[in-house]
């Protein structure tokens, strides 16, 4: 009961605070809601600790975290700020080089291809790789949670039971932090202006000269007006949740799923500009509300799906050295080996 009351109180305080927060990607409200709805909609087979009210609140609260740490310092900022976006052209290419339908398997290969075309990952952005990195990290977190949980269940000596109980709790804390932070980048990729060269005005930079037959705005305020002001005015947990479909696991590799997700987001770029031209973004029209809720729901759906798939994949993920699938360890726990794997 205390956890439920505390979570409810902190949630109310959070929304009071973010009403005055500076604009970030999706705004603090949007990131909080995407993470929260995703956590609320996890399928039942995901471990119970992920469903606890305190866990849902933590994942939600960490949604804006990757924006909060911006400005930490020159080295940090220059290395990480470019992971929030990907400047995709209208033809689906990045810098006229690789395409969003066929991304290289690693950031190194992506950067190498872009440099050959006169760009690099820092100029063009690499949010796709932040999403894949976060997924792989979550798979590993869940795999080691399986080890700690299995060892705790198998332990019969009180000291062993206490040790593995502590290790399980630590693994849960690590998983929640990693997953909550990762959700920020999944959410960024559901915002059309984060997946486009038209990220803040159709010709966003002075050097841009993209064809503009519909006379779309070049205003450098469209980004914030869409993702922060509009979201703060119309977005609700219930409005987003109503658009999230039931979970259906994918059989596609993670990179293929990310490519499909990015292409769907990119398709929404003209609609953002059409809405702005009609005054719908600033007027918070029904059409603008419907569109932005659909995009927030797309982010929550993708994040929910990827968490669930990371849990499923963790069963076959290798743990320890020599490595064995986590499920193999669960079937026959070796407590001495578990101590080595978990750090004690």
Using an 8 Å Cβ cutoff, are 35 and 59 in contact? yes
Count of the separate structural domains present in the chain = 1
Assigned domain for 110 exists: no
pTM above 0.85, yes or no: yes
Assigned domain for 293 exists: yes
Residues in a beta bridge with 260: none
Please report the pLDDT score of residue 344 as a whole number: 64
- How far is it, in rounded angstroms, from Cα 280 to Cα 226? 10
Q: Provide the CA 335 distance to its chain's centre, in angstroms.
A: 34
Please report the pLDDT score of residue 208 as a whole number: 85
- How far is it, in rounded angstroms, from Cα 48 to Cα 1? 17
Assigned domain for 48 exists: yes
Assigned domain for 111 exists: no
Assigned domain for 104 exists: no
Task: Identify the segments of the chain with pLDDT beneath 50.
Answer: 1-24
The CATH number of the domain holding residue 326 is 1.10.575
Please report the pLDDT score of residue 316 as a whole number: 98
Assigned domain for 98 exists: no
Using CB atoms within 10 Å of the CB of residue 144, give its burial: 0 to 12 exposed, 13 to 18 middle, 19+ buried: buried
**Which residue is associated with the tokens 């293929």?**
256
Please report the pLDDT score of residue 4 as a whole number: 31
Assigned domain for 112 exists: no
- How far is it, in rounded angstroms, from Cα 148 to Cα 49? 13
Assigned domain for 106 exists: no
Please report the pLDDT score of residue 46 as a whole number: 98
Q: State which residues form the domain around 334.
A: 2-87+125-342
Please report the pLDDT score of residue 13 as a whole number: 41
- Rounded to 5°, the CA angle 126-128-133 comes to 100
Using an 8 Å Cβ cutoff, are 5 and 14 in contact? no
């Amino acid at each position: 009961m205390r956890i439920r009351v505390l979570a409810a109180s902190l949630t109310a305080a959070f929304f009071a605070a973010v009403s005055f927060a500076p604009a970030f990607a999706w705004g603090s409200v949007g990131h909080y809601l995407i993470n929260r709805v995703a956590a609320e909609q996890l399928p039942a087979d995901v471990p119970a600790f992920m469903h606890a009210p305190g866990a849902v609140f933590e994942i939600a609260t960490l949604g804006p975290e990757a924006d909060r740490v911006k400005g930490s310092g020159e080295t940090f900022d220059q290395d990480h700020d470019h992971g929030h976006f990907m400047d995709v052209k209208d033809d689906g290419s990045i810098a006229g080089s690789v395409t969003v339908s066929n991304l290289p398997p690693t950031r190194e290969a992506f950067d190498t291809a872009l440099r050959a075309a006169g760009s690099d990952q820092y100029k063009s952005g690499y949010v796709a790789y932040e999403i894949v990195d976060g997924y792989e990290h979550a798979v590993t977190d869940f795999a080691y949670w399986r080890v700690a949980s299995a060892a705790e269940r198998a332990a019969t000596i009180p000291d062993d039971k206490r040790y593995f109980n502590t290790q399980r709790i630590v693994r849960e804390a690590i998983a929640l932090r990693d997953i909550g932070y990762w959700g920020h980048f999944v959410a960024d990729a559901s915002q059309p202006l984060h997946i486009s060269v038209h990220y803040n005005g159709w010709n966003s930079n002075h050097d841009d000269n993209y064809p503009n037959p519909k006379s779309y705005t070049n205003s450098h305020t469209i980004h914030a007006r869409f993702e922060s002001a509009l979201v703060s005015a119309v977005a609700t947990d219930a409005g987003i949740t109503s658009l999230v479909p039931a979970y259906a696991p994918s059989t596609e590799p993670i990179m293929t799923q990310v490519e499909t997700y990015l292409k769907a987001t990119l398709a929404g770029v003209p609609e953002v500009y059409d809405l702005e031209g009609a005054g719908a973004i600033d007027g918070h029209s029904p059409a603008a509300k419907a569109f932005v809720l659909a995009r927030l729901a797309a982010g929550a759906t993708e994040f929910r799906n990827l968490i669930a798939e990371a849990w499923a994949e963790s069963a076959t993920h290798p743990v320890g050295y020599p490595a064995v699938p986590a499920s193999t360890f669960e079937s026959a726990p070796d407590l001495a080996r578990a101590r080595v794997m978990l750090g004690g």
